[in-house]
Amino acid sequence: MQGDDRSIAELARALRERSTSSRELVAASLARIERFDGALNAFITVTPEQALAAADAADARLARGEGGPLTGVPIAHKDIFCTRGVATTCASKMLANFISPYDATVVERLAAAGLVCVGKTNMDEFAMGSSNETSFFGPVRNPWDLERSPGGSSGGSAAAVAAGLVPAATGTDTGGSIRQPAALSGITGFKPSYGRVSRYGMIAFASSLDQAGILARSAEDAALVVEAMAGFDPRDSTSADLPVPRYVAELGRPLAGRRIGVPPEFFDAGLDAGCAARLREALEVLRQLGAEIVDVSLPHLGLSVPTYYIVAPAEASSNLARFDGVRFGHRSTAAGSLEEMYKRSRQEGFGAEVRRRIMTGTYVLSTGYYDAYYLQAQKARKLIAEDLRRAFDRVDVIAGPTTPTPAFRLGEKTDDPVQMYLNDIYTIAVNLAGVPGISVPCGFVDGLPVGLQLIGPAFGEAAVLNVAHQYQCATDWHRRRPADPPAGAKR
Ligand code: GLN
């Protein structure tokens, strides 16, 4: 038995019928974390007392007949979301002792919807990475093969859901950090449009790209949770003041008449042959369900990785300036002067990848290089966004791979940042354009899961979720579970 196989919708129904209790579900989740997180390292912080108290409160509401559609269901939060009274580390030594005085909007809204948080998940440091190996708290292991990476940066959330420790976990996606780990871990990962979910209380990496979303076992579960966390928030000036559609109500729509675009640029030489075969099978399933498969072109897709690795570090270098040991974060005790204290605090507090991003970002923003790099990148970003916008004049959804290969070995790419960066080649354009994207499991290559990516136009989440759900009604890849890892306590 690999944990509780029920979907969030099924768990919520059982809770409302009182055939289970929130305490029972939360205790089972905590027990699996206790048993298996030694092998996985998916959690940075586990909060049993708070979780059981929140479960009892949810049960009391359910007993009074007051629960909503998510009341009493366990969830975990990526450790990038501020949680009042509970450590929020961003997987960095810099914030290892940071306790936020307030909750992120995502945390607040999901708690208001009755979800019970069991803990905070591991991630790449400040969400910079694609393998979860840049975490100060050590790498996360992929439940399908413990020698491999679950992907990143939301690797802890992905592994926790894949291993059945929690039915869903929040994530953030700046260049692929929800979709890529979902693909490599064999689960569903959904990133809404930029502005759909508030960034308030979500520690900033690259503010024009960062977006919160969810890692879950199905598109239906993702739709249920995102409905509860999305919507205008006056505390985030980039939050979109638009009504949130009832995504769940759209899921059942048949695919007949839906136009799905497939760009040849997604099937380039970098795509693993096994992954390409799984994708073609997935497209055939969508065609048989009545969708029309249409050729579309994204001619500037090749610019997306270099563009991203200018824009994201530029914004990161500015966002991370606040972590200086004075306003926020680790303070070195070894310094003799004020300037030395700043330098040493940042040197000691940040890991190598974060320092690489800060240096790259500072360089591309500096006088003399700003025009050559940052301004050029902004122009390229516009071209990439235009490609997508034009494609959506002709199709409802674009389909392609999420990643070029299945999960790679831990350590395989750590010495070569460019190889690591290329893992996001199919996900980054979505962030540069601010549109929604989902990754759903579509089969296996050598026992490792493969993801199908579906992309929609800005604020077109409903179409993406609808196509993903219809695909999952016709296939059972999303129901496959890895064997439980060896039990054992955390070191
Ligand atoms: N892997 C990309 C990076 O390292 C994207 C990370 C993310 O989406 N947070 O920046």
Both structure tokens of 474: 């016709």
Say what the pLDDT of residue 489 is: 75
Asked whether the bond before 153 is cis by omega within 30 degrees of 0, the reply is yes
Tens of pLDDT, residues 176-233:
999 999 999 999 999 999 999 999 999 999 999 999 999 999 999 999 999 999 999 9
Measured in whole angstroms, how far is the alpha carbon of residue 384 from the centre of its chain? 22
Mutate to test the pocket of ligand 1, among 80, 92, 124, 426 (most ligand atoms within 8 A of CB): 124
SS (H, E, C) 216-234: ECCHHHHHHHHHHHCCCCC
Give the model's confidence band at 300: pLDDT under 50 very low, under 70 low, under 90 confident, else very high: very high
pLDDT at 269: 87
Other Cβ atoms within 10 Å of 89 Cβ, number? 24
34 strand-pairing partners? none
Nearest CA to ligand 1 atom 4: 129
Distance CA 485, CA 145 (A): 9
Measured between alpha carbons, how far is 468 from 438 in angstroms, rounded to an integer?
8
- Other beta carbons within 10 angstroms of residue 258's beta carbon come to 19
* Domain spans, the chain: 8-265+279-296+388-479
**What is the CA(430)–ligand 1 centre distance, in A?**
12
With 80 as the cut, is the pLDDT of residue 115 above it? yes
CA distance 269 to 254: 34
Q: Please check the confidence at residue 171 and state whether its pLDDT lies above 80.
A: yes
Instruction: Supply the pLDDT for residue 53.
Output: 98
| pLDDT for position 2 | 63
441-473 pLDDT, tens digit per residue, is 999 999 999 999 999 999 999 999 999 999 999
pLDDT of residue 334: 86
Identify the residue whose tokens are 């690591």. Answer: 420
Amino acid at 302: G
What average pLDDT does the segment 106-134 reach? 98
Spatial distance between the Cα atoms of 113 and 229, rounded to a whole number of angstroms: 9
**Does the beta carbon of 472 lie inside 6 Å of ligand 1?**
no
Is the CB of 304 within 6 Å of ligand 1? no
Q: Is the CB of 361 under 6 A from ligand 1?
A: no
Q: Is the CB of 432 under 6 A from ligand 1?
A: no
Task: Check residue 1 and give its pLDDT.
Answer: 43
212: exposed, middle or buried (Cβ count in 10 Å: 0-12, 13-18, 19+) = buried
Q: What percent of the chain has pLDDT over 90?
A: 94
Condensed to tens digits (0 to 9), the pLDDT of residues 37-72 reads 999 999 999 999 999 999 999 999 999 999 899 999
Write the pLDDT tens digit of every residue in 317-372.
999 999 999 988 999 998 889 999 999 999 999 999 999 999 999 999 999 999 99
Please give the number of the atom of ligand 1 that sits closest to the Cα of 130: 1
Pair of tokens at residue 216: 């879950």
What is the average pLDDT across 9-17? 94
The CATH H-level superfamily of 8-265+279-296+388-479 is Amidase signature (AS) domain (3.90.1300.10)
Q: Residue 209: CB within 6 Å of ligand 1? A: no
Q: How far is the CA of 305 from the centre of ligand 1 (A)?
A: 11
Read out DSSP for 132-186?
A: S-S-TT----BTTBTTB---SSSHHHHHHHHTTS-SEEEEE-SSSTTHHHHHHHT
User: How far is residue 231's CA from residue 133's CA, in Å, rounded to a whole number?
Assistant: 33
Q: What is the pLDDT of residues 144-160, one digit of tens each?
A: 999 999 999 999 999 99
What is the pLDDT at residue 5?
87
Mind telling me the catalytic residues?
A: 78, 153, 177
The whole-number average pLDDT for the span 88-100 is 97
| Confidence tier at 491 by pLDDT (50, 70, 90) | low
Portion of the chain with pLDDT greater than 70, in percent: 99
Distance CA 41, CA 146 (A): 11
Q: What is the mean pLDDT of the chain?
A: 96
Determine the average pLDDT of the residues in 228-240: 97
The phi, psi pair for 389, rounded to 5°, reads -60, -45
pLDDT band at 3 (very low <50, low <70, confident <90, very high): confident
- Strand boundaries in 26-167, DSSP class E: 43-46, 74-78, 116-121
Report, as an integer, the average pLDDT of 77-104.
97
- Give the DSSP per-residue string, 277-289: HHHHHHHHHHHHT
Q: Ligand 1 within 6 A of 128 CB?
A: yes
